């Protein structure tokens, strides 16, 4: 975890400005782009070198499997079956025989090569437009061998960006709450994993209840709620060092924490005497500011990406609704006016939308609306689901879903799911235990 990826990124061949293949990600993609991910070729000496260190028989194919899986799961690409490939990986990387790839209906082709040089992993890869018979991109990375999965994610991000025109979200992690045990006595631990579910790791032991972890968009810090010593308080955790501290000195429960976009402040709720207000604490000078002051419940605050506005949840109208205000607490405006209750507003990293949870007629929805409340769109309906978190490119939402129990109170489960902003491509994200409260990190390499 602590190893920063060491990247020597150099462009082998300049990229031409005129786009060749393009994938439109703004609408539901029912015809994912067929593409071929040729296994990265590897010479025998390098293969043996990596087998020794990484215990993987062929690291070249392992990396391309990661790329293939990422692209498939995005819903925008359809990686073709390798058995149909006619050209050997090493030759394809030198000069693809485009007719062969055209024959299996691949529109794009990814080739590459892995080398073991000076105890380092060197990967080069190329993206080809099959129909135009042209190279679209060529890049090479050098890093420590243990970073091989991240190399696969970075390649995926580069391919996604080149073909869609938007940044990817594969070289990222998810922090979440792992859940075990009966519904009345759940044991909850903080857990972290790569975006694709690999490298799952528990960060707390489960001795105390923990909830709602959120990543700092600017560093590897996390803020979350812990019931340590039966005092629910907002904590700050450094995932690299494991050190943690209470945020602020409040005489009561603090909860619903999130970072400001620059990572320098924590915004959260403080509950006292039956009312909850929103506060910020500056992490450098420890200055605490009270942002809302109302006898209602004000919670679930989330900053706009420029830090100038805050969206939050309040029942000041009598029921839970979504509001937007300036970052100093002035100019409060209600933005949700549809039927039902609205909660957990989260500002998109692109700035244009707010994702939310809605409860209407006994069903829970994850939806999005513009920041003035117009254009409400519900993406998914279920018995219970809530707490959306955005992918760093603002194209995918991750959230959790709970099942209804039977008449004996059995059959409860909580799982992580993701869905595209388009409302398509709904998927369960596999976790070793039950899971809730997911939060998506920024891109790790940027």
Partner 1 sequence: MRLNKILKNTLLVLTACLVLSACATKKEVATDIQGQMQGDVYTGTDTVKYLADGVPDRVFFATNESILTTASRETLRAQAAWLRKNPNINVVLEGHADERGTREYNLALGERRANAAKDYLMTYGISSDRITVLSYGKERPVDSGSNPLAWSKNRRSVTVKAN
Angle at 101 between CA 100 and CA 103, to 5 degrees: 65
- Over the window 382 to 401, marking each residue x when it contacts partner 1 by CB under 8 A and - when it does not, the resulting string is -xx-xx--------------
Cβ at position 344, least distance to partner 1 in Å: 5
Q: Considering only residues 41, 93, 204, 357, which one is a binding residue for partner 1 as defined by CB under 8 A?
A: 357
Which residues face 115 on adjacent strands?
122
**# binding residues, partner 1 (CB under 8 A):** 47
What is the contact mask toward partner 1 in residues 217 to 246, using x (rule: CB under 8 A)?
A: --------x----x-x--------------
Nearest distance, CB of residue 405 and partner 1, angstroms: 5
CA distance readout (Å), 368 to 199, 317, 352, 411, 423:
31, 21, 10, 30, 10
Query: Shortest approach of partner 1 to residue 16 CB, angstroms?
Result: 49
Q: Which residues ranging from 186 to 205 are in contact with partner 1 (CB under 8 A)?
A: 186
Q: Which residues from 326-345 bind partner 1, rule CB under 8 A? A: 341, 343-344
Q: Which of 26, 317, 405, 428 binds partner 1 (CB under 8 A)?
A: 405
Nearer to partner 1, 44 or 410 (CB): 410
9 vs 231, which CB is nearer to partner 1?
Answer: 231
Burial (CB count within 10 angstroms: exposed 0-12, middle 13-18, buried 19+), residue 291: buried
Which listed range, 136-144, 214-222, 284-292, 380-388, lies at the site for partner 1 (CB under 8 A)? 380-388
CB of 299 to partner 1, least distance (A): 5
C-beta of 41 vs 300, nearer to partner 1 = 300
- The correct pick among 45, 55, 83, 404 for binding partner 1 (CB under 8 A) is 404
Asked if residue 424 binds partner 1 (CB under 8 A), the reply is: no
Which CB, 49 or 329, lies closer to partner 1? 329
Contact predicate 127/109, CB 8 Å: yes
* Residue 317 touches partner 1, criterion: CB under 8 A: no
Q: Which is nearer to partner 1, 14 or 362 (CB)?
A: 362
Interface residues with partner 1 (CB under 8 A)? Answer: 182-186, 209, 211-212, 225, 230, 232, 252-253, 255-256, 269, 271, 273-276, 297, 299-300, 313, 315, 319-320, 341, 343-344, 357, 359, 362, 383-384, 386-387, 402, 404-405, 407, 409-410, 412, 436-437
């Amino acid at each position: 975890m602590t190893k920063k990826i060491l990247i020597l990124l150099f462009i082998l061949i300049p990229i031409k400005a005129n786009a060749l293949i393009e994938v439109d990600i703004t609408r539901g993609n029912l015809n994912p782009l067929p593409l071929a991910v040729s296994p990265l070729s590897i010479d025998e000496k390098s293969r043996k070198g990596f087998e020794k260190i990484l215990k993987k028989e062929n690291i070249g194919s392992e990396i391309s499997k990661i790329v293939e899986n990422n692209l498939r799961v995005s819903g925008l690409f359809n990686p073709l079956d390798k058995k149909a490939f006619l050209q050997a990986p090493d030759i394809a990387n030198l000069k693809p025989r485009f007719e062969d790839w055209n024959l299996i209906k691949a529109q794009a082709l990814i080739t590459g090569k892995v080398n073991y040089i000076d105890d380092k992993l060197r990967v080069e890869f190329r993206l080809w437009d099959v129909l135009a018979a042209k190279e679209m991109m060529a890049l090479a990375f050098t890093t420590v061998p243990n970073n091989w999965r991240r190399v696969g994610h970075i390649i995926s991000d580069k391919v996604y960006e080149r073909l869609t025109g938007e940044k990817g979200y594969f070289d990222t992690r998810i922090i979440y709450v792992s859940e075990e045990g009966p519904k009345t006595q759940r044991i909850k631990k903080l857990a972290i994993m790569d975006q694709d579910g690999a490298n799952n790791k528990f960060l707390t032991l489960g001795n105390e209840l923990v909830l709602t972890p959120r990543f700092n968009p600017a560093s590897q810090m996390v803020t979350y709620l812990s019931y340590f010593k039966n005092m629910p308080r907002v904590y700050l955790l450094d995932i690299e060092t494991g050190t943690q501290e209470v945020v602020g000195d409040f005489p009561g429960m603090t909860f619903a924490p999130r970072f400001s976009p620059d990572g320098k402040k924590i915004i959260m709720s403080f509950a006292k005497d039956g009312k909850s207000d929103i506060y910020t604490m500056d992490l450098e000078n420890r200055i605490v500011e009270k942002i809302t002051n109302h006898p209602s419940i004000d919670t679930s605050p989330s900053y706009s990406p420029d830090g100038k506005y805050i969206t939050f949840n309040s029942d000041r109208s009598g029921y839970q609704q979504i509001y937007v205000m300036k970052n100093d607490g002035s100019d409060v405006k209600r933005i949700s006016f549809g039927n039902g209750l609205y909660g957990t507003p989260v500002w998109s990293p692109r700035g244009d939308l707010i994702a939310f949870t809605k409860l209407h007629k006994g069903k829970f929805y994850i939806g999005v609306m513009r920041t003035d409340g117009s254009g409400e769109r519900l993406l998914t309906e279920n018995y219970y689901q809530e707490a959306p978190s955005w992918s760093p490119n603002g194209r995918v939402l991750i959230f959790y879903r709970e099942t209804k129990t039977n008449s004996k109170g059995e059959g409860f489960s909580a799982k992580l799911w993701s869905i595209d902003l388009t409302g398509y491509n709904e998927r369960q994200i596999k976790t070793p235990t039950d899971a809730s409260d997911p939060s998506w990190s920024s891109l790790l390499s940027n």
